[in-house]
A and B are shown apart, each in its own frame.
Chain A
Amino acid sequence: MPQGKLCNRQPIKTDEQLKLTLADKSGIQYYAEMEELDVDTDLLWSTIQKTMKSRTKTWLEICAHCGMCAESCFLYQVNDRIPEQVPSYKIQSTLGHIVKKKGKVSNEFMRHCMEVAWSQCTCCNRCGMYCPHGIDMGVMFSYLRGLLYSQGFVPWELKIGSGMHRVYRAQMDVTTEDWVETCEWMAEETEEEWPGLTIPVDKQDADIMYTCNAREPKHYPEDLAEAAILFHVAGVNWTVPSEGWEQTSLSMFAGDWECCKDNVNHVYSAIERLNPARVTGTECGHAHRATVIEGPYWAGRPDGLPPKPYIHYVEWLAEALREGKLKIDPAKRIKEPVTLQDSCNYVRNQGLKDVTREIISYIVEPGYFVEMAPNKEHNYCCGGGGGFNGIGRFREQRNVALRKKMDQILDTGCKLVIAPCHNCWDAIRDLEEEYEIGIRWSFLKPLIIGMLDIPEGMRVEW
């Protein structure tokens, strides 16, 4: 079959196609069609020739096959150290093979590649730090995902995810109207307790423009309210854009690079339109990677930077606490063993390890913070990164992947885990559901609000 009705080489561009694909529960028809999908081998090879630059070519060629990357991969560790989970093997036997065959590979092989690319690598980039040649398999798997996406071999949820971004410019079907209404609704509700609180939409020249993860307005609107409370207490002149507020990119996980560019440009045009001094994103790792770290390149910005300084929520929070804009009541500090999950996408990918620990120093009573081992840039992926969390077809593999984080948390002896990243938060929630180890987990926002030292009259007590 050249192309299926649901599974094909075309991205989802219309609401109709999106609903059609969504209606196919668990992607049963989608995956059935995938088994018949033709591989456009000429297109595959010409795409490789155009996009595979010397870095990836050289990496594939000079890999010394030394196996040093094996132990660096948490998926290798939790899967009984089977050799098929060695990072170098995973990329050599997929991307390496496609290149060797000059794109002449079968449908079956492409489906195998899909499974490896989305269930055996979370693009956490940890292996790159353990390879003597500096070969980053996570980078190459992102590239492979792009090739697979362009041929239609992408997990059902991520085809939908990137379709959502194309149709709604959000990872969920949150329209501009829905978003603005949610802002108004949250402002009204929160103002009862916090007099004077507003969520200003499209305010020009604010100090901070706030962007978030579409899951927040869709499923956790209280997160937006919490952000508003903290900006309100800190006395920040802030705003949210009516358009360009969504900073996540499931298209990045899907390998839909064209869509990535469109989305990030949408956020950047909001920045240019509203002209804030700075932009702050929410507590999300991949959203930060998409909009701040990789996004500028998708958008073709020569300096590799967003149009205005764009910081992660932990950076804003550390600054507000440091400068005393937010004050912590010492009596309310955390007085139980607590640990911190370092998100790959802003720790390993942007070095934000110290600011998170600075926040810890303000909110945790000395002696109660327990580091995971290993930690900081050597920390392991939460187990559900790179889209792994959301793919039903690979749920079983994902649950195995969670075991590494479970062991790390159990080793700390903590019952409370701070996870300033949506994806890590979800993974830790799932690991508790799956393995019931008796832990709690939290974003920073609700924790901080609970321990603020609030000026008198600012909050109405009920």
Chain B
Amino acid sequence: MYELLTGPLLWLVFAISFGGLLVRVVLYFKGLSQQLDRVAYRPHLSYGLKGAFNSIISWLNPVGARAWRIRPGFTLIFFAFHIGLLLTPILLTAHNVMLQENLGFSLPQLPACIADILSWTVIVAGLFMVLRRIAFPEVRILTTAYDYLLLVITVAPFVTGLIARYQGGDYQFWLLAHIITGEIWLLCLPFTKLSHCVLFFCSRAQLGMDYGIKRGGMKGSTFSW
């Protein structure tokens, strides 16, 4: 079972997930329309690219966009969640051992205690995100069961991973549970709203081009985000 899940099935999952995300990016850009979007993407490419770059950088920086600055509490939870979510799986020692065995190289590895902290951060921040959805009327009205399901799918590999790591209960069971939940998460990336992991960049680049070209960039104005 373990061999299957970490062998051919894992490769298939990777192919579907990363291939799917690539398709999403290509379709996004192919599906833009200069006339219907009212942005001359190509003729003013340099203004557009500058705007796109500004927009992406500003929003990847927790103090870069005004929206982040005016809500420090949410910003902290949001960034903690995403940083943990991104760094832990890539830089975890156990994952890199597998990488070394399969592809003959590995990435820098996080000390175990940092990986633990990051994993806990994802779980706690995820919990705050759920509480926020329940507590605030302006978020509650937007929230659907689908939003909760996606949060569960995203946090599940961290919960199962930590239980396995602390050897809580049947190690083999939790290890398999961790692999399966991780693979479910990967498979969901291209087909659900989780595709924002790449489409965030597309959408920000697009709006950045819009502002960088007609909405001020060509008039020499740099918008504060």
How many Å lie between the Cα of A378 and that of B59 in the bound state?
17
Q: Judging by beta carbons under 8 Å apart, are B143 and A65 in contact?
A: yes
> A128 an interface residue at 8 Å Cβ cutoff?
yes
A residues near B (Cβ < 8 Å) are 51, 53-55, 57-59, 61-68, 70-72, 76, 81, 83-84, 86, 88-89, 92, 128-136, 293-294, 296-298, 300, 302-305, 348-354, 377-378
Stretch at the interface among B87-95, B102-110, B217-225: B217-225
What CA separation (Å) do A305 and B38 show in the bound complex?
11
Contact in complex: B27, A54 (CB < 8 Å): yes
Which of chain A's residues has its CB closest to B142's CB? A65
Which listed residue (B136, B143, B221) contacts A354, Cβ 8 A? Answer: B221
Known interface pairs A53-B33, A59-B203, A63-B193; 8 further A-B residue pairs with C-beta atoms within 8 A, sorted by A's residue number:
A53-B31, A53-B32, A55-B32, A62-B199, A84-B141, A297-B35, A350-B215, A351-B216
In the docked arrangement, what's the CA distance between A61 and B146, Å? 12
- B139 and A61 contacting across the interface, CB-CB below 8 Å: no
- Can you list 9 A-B pairs, Cβ within 8 angstroms, ordered by A? A53-B36, A68-B74, A83-B140, A130-B67, A132-B65, A298-B35, A350-B215, A351-B219, A352-B221
Which residue in chain B gives the minimum CB-CB distance to A354? B221
Query: With A and B bound together, what is the CA distance between A25 and B180 in angstroms?
Result: 66
Residues facing A in B106-164 (CB within 8 A) are 133, 136-144, 147
Q: What distance in Å separates the Cβ of A262 from its nearest Cβ neighbour in chain B? A: 15
Cβ of A84: which chain B residues have Cβ within 8 Å of it?
A: 141
Nearest Cβ distance between residue B95 and chain A, in whole angstroms? 26
| A68–B28 CB distance below 8 A | no
Q: Is B196 an interface residue (CB 8 A)?
A: yes
Q: A68-B67, A130-B66, A134-B203 are in contact. Are A303 and B220 (CB under 8 A)?
A: no
Indicate if the CB atoms of A58 and B203 lie closer than 8 Å: yes
B177-225 contacts to A (CB < 8 Å): 193, 195-196, 199-200, 202-204, 206-208, 210, 213-217, 219-221, 223-225
Interface size class of chain B, counting residues whose CB lies under 8 Å from the partner chain: 35 or more
- Of the candidates B193, B196, B215, the one whose C-beta lies within 8 Å of that of A351 is B215
Residue of B with least CB distance to A355? B219
Indicate which residue in A71, A128, A300 contacts B35 across the interface (CB closer than 8 Å). A300
Query: Is B216's CB under 8 angstroms from A302's CB?
Result: no
**CB-nearest residue of chain A to B137:** A83
A134 touching B223 by the CB < 8 A rule?
no
A135 touches B203 (CB 8 A): yes
In the bound assembly, the distance between CA atoms of A129 and B207 in angstroms comes to: 9
Name the residue of chain A whose CB is nearest to the CB of B205: A134
Q: Say yes or no: is B49 at the interface (Cβ < 8 Å to chain A).
A: no
Chain B residues within an 8 Å CB radius of A302: 34, 40, 43
**Contact status A351-B31, CB under 8 Å:** no
* Shortest Cβ distance from residue B63 to the other chain A in the assembled complex, whole angstroms: 14
Contacting pair A133 B200 (CB below 8 A):
yes
B residues within 8 A CB of A297? 34-35, 38-40
B37 to chain A, nearest CB (A): 5
Q: Is the CB of B142 within 8 A of A349?
A: no
* Chain A residues whose CB sits within 8 angstroms of the CB of B59 once the complex forms: 132, 134
Min CB distance, B57 to chain A, in Å?
13
Smallest Cβ-Cβ distance to A50: which chain B residue: B36
With A53-B33, A86-B142 as given contacts, are A62 and B38 in contact (CB-CB < 8 Å)? no
Which of B34, B200, B207 is in CB contact (< 8 Å) with A128?
A: B207
Q: How many angstroms from the CA of A68 to the CA of B143 in the assembled complex?
A: 13
Q: Are B216 and A58 in contact (CB under 8 A)?
A: no
Given contacts A88-B142, A304-B39, are A129 and B223 in contact (CB under 8 A)?
yes
Q: Are B213 and A304 in contact (CB under 8 A)?
A: yes
Find out whether the CB atom of B199 lies under 8 angstroms from the CB atom of A58: yes
A86: shortest Cβ distance to chain B, in Å? 5
In the complex, A81→B138 CA distance in Å?
A: 8
A157–B55 alpha-carbon span in the complex (Å):
38
Q: How far is the CA of A131 from the CA of B207 in the complex (A)?
A: 11
Nearest-neighbor residue (CB-CB) of A51 within chain B = B36
Task: Indicate which residue in B32, B35, B141 contacts A86 across the interface (CB closer than 8 Å).
Answer: B141
- Residues A303 and B43 in contact, CB atoms below 8 Å apart: yes
CA distance A293 to B37 in the complex (A): 12
Q: Check B44 for interface membership: any CB of A closer than 8 A.
A: yes
Residues of A within 8 A of B221 (CB): 351-354, 377
Which chain B residue has the least Cβ–Cβ distance from A81?
A: B138
Task: A167 to B78: give the CA distance in the assembly, Å.
Answer: 53
The answer on a CB contact under 8 Å between A377 and B223 is yes
Q: Which residues of A contact B220 (CB under 8 A)?
A: 351
- A34 CB to closest chain B CB, in angstroms? 27
Q: Measured between alpha carbons, how far is A379 from B47 in the docked complex, in Å?
A: 24
Assuming the A-B contacts A55-B206, A134-B208, are A65 and B38 also in contact, with contact meaning beta carbons closer than 8 angstroms in the complex? no
Q: A65 touching B36 by the CB < 8 A rule?
A: no
- Determine if B203 and A64 form an interchain contact, defined as CB atoms under 8 angstroms apart: no
With known contacts A54-B28, A67-B138, A349–B34 Cβ distance under 8 A:
no
The minimal Cβ–Cβ distance linking B133 to chain A, given in whole angstroms, is 8
Contact of B139 among A66, A130, A354 (CB under 8 A): A66
> Given A129-B223, A132-B200: A64 and B214 within 8 A (CB)?
no
A350 touches B30 (CB 8 A): no
Interface centre among B136, B141, B204 (most CB of A within 10 A): B141
B144 partner residues in chain A, CB cutoff 8 A: 65
Residues of A within 8 A of B203 (CB): 55, 58-59, 62, 133-135
Residue in contact with B138 in the complex, picked from A63, A70, A304, CB distance below 8 Å: A70
Interface pair A352/B219, CB less than 8 Å apart: yes
**Are the CB atoms of A134 and B40 closer together than 8 Å?**
no
By the criterion CB–CB under 8 Å, are A133 and B219 in contact?
A: no
* Bound-complex Cα distance A302 to B41 (A): 10
Roughly how many angstroms separate A385 CA and B223 CA in the complex, as a whole number? Answer: 21
Which residues does chain B contribute within 8 Å of A66, judged by CB atoms?
139, 142
